[in-house]
Amino acid sequence: MEHQKIDIKNIPVHVEVHKPESAKAAAYNPRDRIYVRAVKGLHQAIRRYMGFVFMGLFMLLPWLTFDGHQAILLNITEQKFNIFGLTLWPQDFTILAWIFIIAAYALFFITAFYGRVWCGYLCPQSVWTFIFIWFEEKIQGTRNQRMKLDADPWSASKFLKKAATHFCWLAFSLLTALIFVGYFTPVDKLFIEFFTFQSGFWAVVTVLFFTLCTYGNAGWMREIMCTHICPYARFQSAMFDKDTFTVTYDEKRGENRGPRSRKDKDYKEKGLGDCIDCNLCVQVCPTGIDIRNGLQYECINCGACIDACDDTMTKMGYPTGLISYTTEHSLNGKPTRILRPKLVGYLFILIAVCAAFAWTLYSRVPLEMNIIRDRGALYRETNDGLVENTYTLSISNKSQHSAVFNLSVNNVPGLRWIGPEQVTLLGGETTSVPVSLALDPDSTDAHSLEMTFTVQQQGDTGVQLQQSTTFFLGH
């Protein structure tokens, strides 16, 4: 068979090599600083008042006393959380779990109904950021003055203003850190030892760590925490729908944008909308977005742009509400459904977990008992011919007060109790009580008996705990 040759053609291929950009061109450009403009209005007044209330609670709660001790003390070292008259131990983890679940579903419910108002009004990151901005305004001046100050060359005046600002930031951050750490250690002792240089190593490290965190987050990172680090900003859209109230710009009414004088009443004939393109909504935004571009995940629903726009509309003689808390359905002329499956579902789950939390608190017994059998032998025979079982009762008083507890076992004919029948425990104390039970083996044909130990507090408290165990006879 004759082989046929295949002609091969050389096809020139041009490979274009893309050289990387120069280091200067590829360098990372840090974000432009956001100079937040001060604004007054209904929503900002609500935000400030709510911030004052919750900031006051944060600052004052560690200093409150209840029944002779710090009202709220989350002592991680001793694994004991005192919350007024309630003491929680590691065994009470379900109560803490219910608290976190309630907080989560409350957040989901509020977000589905009114957007990210938690972020704009009560989130610690936002509250502390607005406080730091307030320091800037008082020391460096208004937005335009701060921009001019940063653009000016360094001088003694600029240095003093910058130094005073950062000093106030650091001082407030230190106060915040001391108060926060005061929730986990006696706060009065912490303040005295810290400022008299008597604090331990870990106390100093912890306070300085949270000081730097507060200073960095509220002073430097600010909106970066909301837009790049906080996970809530990313998954919030999963809880939004067309009936969620969010800060929204009415595009149909506002467009086309354009400046005009207050006396110009024929602006609509020129094709202009109500938006005069003053950009105040952008200047007052703490995350630096333009709400007129539509819903953006950076928006924290603080309402600052609403107050700024309403003020402008009032000055122009236009109706307010060009930017407002509204829904997508409302903007499209459709009715807003308040009661909808998603919102009702969140509310139902929230009520259910609140009920479970209340029942857990109500049924909680401030007492714990563990029965430990003798590991050496299940039973042994005494010189009197009785069968004896030995136990160790580990009893914990989970209340904040000392109490006397009576120990007993269910009534079995002929059963002998060998050991203490009463024990006194301080608040939070745990003790081990050795107990032996003896029984005549001829009194029953059973190989084993179910025994129930009872620990009952003396008095009218009604605190009682029972636990079952097995008594072996060895037949």
Check pLDDT > 60 for residue 348. yes
Is the domain of 324 the same as that of 373?
Answer: no
> Is 119 inside a domain boundary?
yes
Is the domain of 186 the same as that of 325?
Answer: yes
> Is 90 inside a domain boundary?
no
Write out the two tokens for 466.
């029972």
Question: What's the pLDDT band for 12 if we cut at 50, 70, 90?
Answer: low
Check pLDDT > 50 for residue 136. yes
Is the domain of 394 the same as that of 264?
Answer: no
pLDDT per residue as tens digits for the range 259-317: 999 988 889 998 999 999 999 999 999 999 999 999 888 899 999 999 999 999 999 99
Is the domain of 321 the same as that of 373?
Answer: no
Is the domain of 290 the same as that of 184?
Answer: yes
- Contacts for 16 with CB less than 8 Å, ≥ 6 apart: none
- The H or E element containing residue 431 is strand 430-439
How much is the pLDDT for 32? 65
Rounded CA gap, 405 and 422, in Å?
6
Is the domain of 178 the same as that of 253?
Answer: yes
Check pLDDT > 90 for residue 33. no
Rounded CA gap, 311 and 307, in Å?
6
pLDDT per residue as tens digits for the range 87-133: 888 888 888 899 999 999 999 999 999 999 999 999 999 999 999 99
Question: What's the pLDDT band for 234 if we cut at 50, 70, 90?
Answer: confident
> Is 2 inside a domain boundary?
no
> Is 360 inside a domain boundary?
no
Is the domain of 280 the same as that of 377?
Answer: no
Is the domain of 394 the same as that of 306?
Answer: no
% of the chain at pLDDT higher than 90: 70
How much is the pLDDT for 4? 61
Closest Cα to residue 303, out of 375, 248, 376? 248
- Judge contact between 35 and 146, C-beta under 8 A: yes
Range in 216-220, 395-399, 411-415 with the lowest mean pLDDT = 411-415
Q: Average pLDDT, whole number, for the chain? A: 90
Task: Kindly state the DSSP code that residue 199 receives in the 8-state scheme.
Answer: -
What range defines the domain where residue 381 resides? 367-472
- Contacts for 263 with CB less than 8 Å, ≥ 6 apart: none
How much is the pLDDT for 462? 77
- With a threshold of 0.85, does the pTM exceed it? no
How much is the pLDDT for 319? 95
pLDDT per residue as tens digits for the range 395-404: 999 888 899 9
> Is 42 inside a domain boundary?
yes
- Judge contact between 82 and 400, C-beta under 8 A: yes
How much is the pLDDT for 106? 95
> Is 75 inside a domain boundary?
no
Is the domain of 401 the same as that of 270?
Answer: no
> Is 383 inside a domain boundary?
yes
Is the domain of 156 the same as that of 223?
Answer: yes
> Is 354 inside a domain boundary?
no
Q: What is the CATH number of the domain that holds 457?
A: 2.60.40.10
Q: Read off the pLDDT of each residue in 20-47 and give the average, rounded to a whole number.
A: 71
Is the domain of 288 the same as that of 411?
Answer: no
The residue out of 311, 333, 355 marking a domain boundary is 333
How much is the pLDDT for 101? 95
Higher-confidence residue: 326 or 10? 326
Check pLDDT > 50 for residue 147. yes
% of the chain at pLDDT higher than 70: 93
- Dihedral over alpha carbons 452, 453, 454, 455 (to 10 degrees): -160
Q: Read off the pLDDT of each residue in 455-472 and give the average, rounded to a whole number.
A: 88
Domains held by the chain: number: 2
* Other residues' Cβ atoms within 10 Å of the Cβ of residue 226: 24
Is the domain of 298 the same as that of 395?
Answer: no
The residue out of 307, 333, 359 marking a domain boundary is 333
Task: Kindly state the DSSP code that residue 426 receives in the 8-state scheme.
Answer: -
